[in-house]
Amino acid sequence: MGKGGRLAITIVVLALAAVGIVFSVKALLYTPSTVVYTPTNGQVNVTMQTVGSYGHAPNPTWVSYLTENQQGQWVHTTLWQVPAHTRVNVTIYQFDSGSPLRNQQIGQVTGTLGKSATLNGATFKVINSNIGNGIGHTFSIPTLGISVPLAGNSGSANLCAVAPCSPSSTAYPHNTITFSFTSPGPGNYPWQCFVPCALGFLYGNGGPMQTVGYMGGFMKVV
């Protein structure tokens, strides 16, 4: 290879590195907003949805959670605030597909009131991910021992690809999962998905799996 060719390759490599740095800085500077929940009759209702692709910049192909605020608006955030020692009722609309779990342990419901959850209205305590459409994601707060598997939709279905997805629409299939738990004392509690679902990243654990606002967040208890 001539000197000119080596120079061209060097310029391309440096340009790609510069682009990577720019996107990394943007990711570090991105801070999602926090949805603040106020109690009604001693309870708060947290509503979220999971989508197979967010559909918007800067990472349109990334899998993501969204949170509904108390004004009924969907917000691209995984940060929310609840009062201490309060019943938290969670509803998650699961619009993504699923697959068998690498670790069947996370197919169990743990840490919720009644040690159970509901899937489309039916109570369950465990999902066998080797049958049906498997598990798409989990909602897990490790420090509180809370984990709920979110049943997947068929990968061959017409899945919603641009968030937010409407739970009232029949255009895209989804599963509705509900459960409740009691918030602990004040603190900042991380929560996340434990199903490797970041396509294009090593073992499915990079990108959205490591980014607040997508597959992980914090529950601030005050």
Residue 1 pLDDT:
56
Q: What is the pLDDT along the chain (222 residues), one digit of tens a residue?
A: 555 544 444 443 344 343 344 334 444 456 899 999 999 999 999 999 999 999 999 999 999 999 999 999 999 999 999 999 999 999 999 999 999 998 899 999 999 999 999 999 999 999 999 999 999 999 999 999 999 999 999 999 999 999 999 999 999 999 999 999 999 999 999 999 999 987 778 777 889 999 999 999 999 999
- Using the Cα atoms of residue 60, residue 61, residue 64 and residue 66 in order, give the sign of their dihedral: positive
| Residue 62, phi-psi category: left (phi > 0), alpha (psi -120 to 50), beta (remainder) | beta
CA distance 192 to 180: 17
Give 69-76 contacts, CB < 8 A, sequence gap 24+. Answer: 69/35, 70/35, 70/36, 70/37, 70/38, 74/49, 74/163, 74/164, 75/32, 75/33, 75/35, 76/32, 76/163, 76/213
Judge whether 167 and 147 are in contact, CB under 8 Å: no
Q: What is the Cα–Cα distance from 5 to 110, expressed in whole angstroms?
A: 59
Residue 25 is predicted with a pLDDT of: 42
The architecture CATH gives domain 34-221: Sandwich (2.60)
What was the pLDDT predicted at 103? Answer: 87
How many secondary structure helices (H) and strands (E) does the chain include?
A: 1, 13
Q: Structure pTM?
A: 0.85
